[in-house]
Amino acid sequence: MKFLTTNFVRCPISKCDNSLKAFPLQYKNCELIQEELEFNPEFLANILDRLNWEAIIAVAGDLGNDSLPPTKPENVDPKDPENEQLLKDLHTLLIETQITEGEMHCGECGHIYYIKSSIPNFLLPPHLV
Amino acid sequence: MFATPLYDADFEKLYEPSEDTYVVLDTLEEIRQDLVNWYFPVNTRSTTHSPNKVPICVEIGTGTGIITTFIQKNILGPDRAIYLTTDVNDYACATSIKTNGLNKKKPTDFGMLDTIKCDLVGPLARKCVDLLVFNPPYVPSEEVPDIVKLTQDKKDDDDKINDLLVDLALCGGADGMETTWRLLDNLDSILSDTGMALILFCARNKPEQVVEQFKQKMRLKGVEWKVERVFIRKAGWEELTVWKFVKDW
Ligand SMILES: C[S@@+](CC[C@H](N)C(=O)[O-])C[C@H]1O[C@@H](n2cnc3c(N)ncnc32)[C@H](O)[C@@H]1O
Ligand SMILES: [Zn+2]
């Protein structure tokens, strides 16, 4: 599971639908790998718009990375060399970092979802469907 | 003609690309320019249609994943969208990633593709899907096998699990529509405001009736939809169609 994907998933149990604590999930006991991919500054600059930055910071913190800027970088021009370091860091974190094993805890209901062999499993057990 | 993406999998454990899969690929190719114009409009001055800069493309029930790899390579492009595949079958989830790799020139070629094991769109945030594609289990059957069985202890019998997965790829319950209806009933909260869904039906699903019922149900919720058939193929006694769903503002 790529780091970026954590920005789009929440607890799917219906009673957690409207809870602010069901997103982002809390990531625990995670094993990470880096998967090398070409650097694409335009892509990163363009996705900034749709990212929930607080959630990025929270998940990065769960995984032991506290180096992100506290507020979302705005209007980042991918061609400006000044932005290169920022976009490279984001590339390494969002696109190249994979969670291979780990747990995702819902802050509302406490349910734990597991990541195994890089695949997050959100199928619900019978009593929660 | 775009080539069919390469794939390699154990077809006792997941759905082998079939006539319906090719119908979806051919639909995508045929409406390619409309899709590109929809997601990347040249004239961004329009206030009525301003899609997300980087669309999120989700394929439910991905199987081998060739549909998503096809969209990524040939329709929207590897660096212009985020691609997510889902399936209840974890072997399908894993295969969709592997298929993507098989179709790259270099392993490091850029692409943002990920996979999630879940029911339909499972944990995805509300209204985040810009392009939804689903070749569902559409064959009329007595019942839809219970997905919950997949969450129970797997070790007891691999053959039984494989049988269940084969059934899950095909069996759609009453009119073959039970799984698709569960999606349609929530489509308004799954798609973004500029989102689009492409869904495959067979004749026995009675798609014309389904579309009318869908529009009526949604009207009760206060959401109007534009739905049109974008592809039809008769193959022997079977008739497969693909329908496009967008919100009508
Ligand atoms: C007809 S097959 C299509 C496979 C592939 N997309 C293709 O076109 O070749 C249906 C797929 O949906 C998956 N599926 C069935 N029910 C599902 C559900 N509730 N949520 C997600 N996937 C589901 C099956 O495991 C199977 O892979
Ligand atoms: Zn929850």
What would the pLDDT profile of B181-214 be if each residue is shown by its tens digit? 999 999 999 999 999 999 999 999 999 999 999 9
What would the pLDDT profile of A15-74 be if each residue is shown by its tens digit? 999 999 999 999 999 999 999 999 999 999 999 999 999 999 999 999 999 999 999 999
pLDDT at B44 over 90: no
Residue predicted with more confidence, B156 or B202: B202
Residue nearest to atom 11 of ligand 1 (CA): B61
High-pLDDT (> 70) share of chain B, %: 96
The overall average pLDDT reported for chain B is: 94
Ligand located closest to A12 CA: 2
The domain total for chain B is: 1
pLDDT at B155 over 60: no
Question: What Cα–Cα distance (Å) separates residue B211 from each residue in A78, B60, B231?
Answer: 44, 19, 15
The residue of B50, B112, B124, B185 whose CB has the most chain A CBs within 10 angstroms, and thus the best one to mutate to test that interface, is B112
Return the number of CB contacts < 8 Å for A and B. Answer: 96
In a domain, B5, yes or no: no
Ligand 1 lining (C-beta closer than 6 Å): B 14-15, 17, 20-21, 24, 60-64, 67, 86-89, 92, 119-120, 135-137, 147, 168-169, 179
Instruction: Write down the pLDDT at residue A111.
Output: 97
Instruction: Write down the pLDDT at residue A75.
Output: 92
Q: How confident is the model at residue B160 (pLDDT cuts 50, 70, 90)?
A: confident
In a domain, B8, yes or no: no
Q: How confident is the model at residue B47 (pLDDT cuts 50, 70, 90)?
A: low
Residue to probe by mutation, ligand 1, list B22, B59, B124, B135, most atoms within 8 Å of CB: B135
In a domain, B106, yes or no: yes
Instruction: Write down the pLDDT at residue A86.
Output: 95
In a domain, B218, yes or no: yes
List of chain A residues whose C-beta atoms are within 8 Å of the C-beta of residue B109:
37-38
Instruction: Write down the pLDDT at residue B79.
Output: 96
Instruction: Write down the pLDDT at residue B183.
Output: 98
Instruction: Write down the pLDDT at residue B245.
Output: 98
What would the pLDDT profile of B114-132 be if each residue is shown by its tens digit? 999 999 999 999 999 999 9
**B109: nearest CB among A38, A117, A118:** A38
A13/B125 Cα distance (integer angstroms): 12
Helix, strand, coil content of chain A in percent (nearest 5): 40, 20, 40
In a domain, B180, yes or no: yes
Note whether A123 contacts B117, CB cutoff 8 Å. Answer: yes
Residue predicted with more confidence, B49 or B177: B177
Residue nearest to atom 7 of ligand 1 (CA): B21
Ligand 1 atom showing the smallest separation from residue B147 Cα: 19
Residue predicted with more confidence, B45 or B95: B95
In a domain, B7, yes or no: no
| CA of B62 relative to ligand 1 center, distance in Å | 6
Note whether B88 contacts A123, CB cutoff 8 Å. Answer: yes
- Segment B88-112 shows an average pLDDT of 97
Q: How confident is the model at residue B153 (pLDDT cuts 50, 70, 90)?
A: low
- Segment B157-171 shows an average pLDDT of 89
List of chain B residues whose C-beta atoms are within 8 Å of the C-beta of residue A40:
79, 110
Residue-range definition of the domain harbouring residue B183: 19-247
Note whether B116 contacts A11, CB cutoff 8 Å. Answer: no
In a domain, B156, yes or no: yes
CATH code, domain with B78: 3.40.50.150
Instruction: Write down the pLDDT at residue B148.
Output: 84
CATH number of A3-10+21-121: 2.20.25.10
Ligand 1 atom showing the smallest separation from residue B21 Cα: 8
SS3 A105: strand
Q: How confident is the model at residue B30 (pLDDT cuts 50, 70, 90)?
A: very high
Instruction: Write down the pLDDT at residue B173.
Output: 97
| CA of A112 relative to ligand 2 center, distance in Å | 9
Instruction: Write down the pLDDT at residue A78.
Output: 96
Note whether A125 contacts B151, CB cutoff 8 Å. Answer: yes
List of chain A residues whose C-beta atoms are within 8 Å of the C-beta of residue B52:
49-50
Q: How confident is the model at residue B161 (pLDDT cuts 50, 70, 90)?
A: confident
Instruction: Write down the pLDDT at residue B249.
Output: 80
| CA of A103 relative to ligand 2 center, distance in Å | 13
Residue nearest to atom 24 of ligand 1 (CA): B169
Ligand located closest to B68 CA: 1
Instruction: Write down the pLDDT at residue B165.
Output: 92
In a domain, B10, yes or no: no
